[in-house]
Structures are given as structure tokens and as C-alpha cells.
């Protein structure tokens, strides 16, 4: 019987909040993001596109023993949007590993990690939350 891909060290960090970080939203960063996604909406860069916030920085806690499942795929994302994000905003964000489950998928045995990131602006108002599903697998043979 194969061992579980999920180790005790991985399970130990489920529910733990990662480090909180703060970053300033730069007008140029919004501009580059809008150009990268090919969205010429004239509201940008005086306003950030909906999914821009992930670009202010990453605070995803490191997964212990993560080297044993190095192949990573993005499974999906659920955003809830709050107050609009504009240049000069100071966004504080932190990420918690909500859940780890293992299942056999189309691509073989995989670990599904669910992260929740909360983004709050300088006035303490929620700008967004993002729940992100990350698929991790062992290295190919």
C-alpha cells in the first residue's frame, strides 16, 4: 500500500496563518499588469483590475516536506471583492493554509492544498479575499 503524500509535518501547519506583509500599490505596477493581461480599459491604472491584488506580493507559508511533491499546478481561485484598489493604497495581506487533502486524479496521486489570502487596505477595509487551490504531485518517473 503506498504511503500518503501528506506528511505529519505538512499536517502540522494546516490552519496556521503565515506572516502578514504590507505593500504599496504602485501606479506603474497596475499599468504593467493591465498591459500583461491585454486589457486596455481606460479606468486603469487609476484603478486596479479585479485580480491585480495577487501581484502586490506573496505571503504563502512554505509547505514542510514540499520537495517530496515538487510538481505544482494551479487548480483554481475564488475571489470575493471588497473596496476598490487604487495607486497609493497600502495593502496588508496574509495567507493561511486552510486544508490539505489527497486524492487520485486524472494525473495520478495528488495533494490538494487550499489557501486563503486576505487583503486589507490602509483604512482597515477589506479589499478582497482569494481562496486558491493548489495541486501538488510527486516528481515524474
75 is an interface residue for another protein by CB under 8 A: yes
Q: How far is the CB of 28 from another protein (least distance, A)?
A: 10
Provide the sign of the torsion angle of the four alpha carbons 8, 10, 14, 17, taken in this order: positive
For another protein, the closer of residues 8 and 104 by Cβ is 104
CB contact at 8 A, 18 and 92: no
126 is an interface residue for another protein by CB under 8 A: no
41 is an interface residue for another protein by CB under 8 A: yes
Q: How far is the CB of 12 from another protein (least distance, A)?
A: 25
CB contact at 8 A, 41 and 34: yes
Residue of 66, 121, 60 lying closest to 95 (CA atoms): 60
Three-state DSSP class for residue 45 = coil
Q: Which spans of this chain sit near another protein (rule: CB under 8 A)?
A: 29, 32-33, 35-39, 41, 43-44, 47, 49-51, 54-55, 57-58, 71-81, 84, 140
Amino acid at each position: 500500500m503506498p504511503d500518503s503524500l501528506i506528511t505529519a509535518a505538512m499536517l502540522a501547519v494546516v490552519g496556521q496563518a503565515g506572516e502578514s506583509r504590507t505593500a504599496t500599490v504602485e501606479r506603474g505596477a497596475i499599468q504593467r499588469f493591465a498591459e500583461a493581461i491585454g486589457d486596455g480599459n481606460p479606468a486603469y491604472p487609476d484603478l486596479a483590475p479585479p485580480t491585480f491584488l495577487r501581484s502586490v506580493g506573496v505571503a504563502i507559508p512554505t509547505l514542510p516536506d514540499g520537495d517530496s511533491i515538487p510538481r505544482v499546478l494551479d487548480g483554481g481561485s475564488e475571489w470575493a471583492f471588497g473596496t476598490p484598489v487604487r495607486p497609493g493604497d497600502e495593502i496588508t495581506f496574509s495567507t493561511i493554509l486552510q486544508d490539505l487533502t489527497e486524492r487520485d486524479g486524472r494525473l495520478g496521486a495528488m495533494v490538494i492544498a487550499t489557501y486563503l489570502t486576505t487583503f486589507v487596505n490602509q483604512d482597515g477595509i477589506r479589499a478582497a479575499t482569494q481562496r486558491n487551490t493548489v495541486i501538488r504531485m510527486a516528481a515524474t518517473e
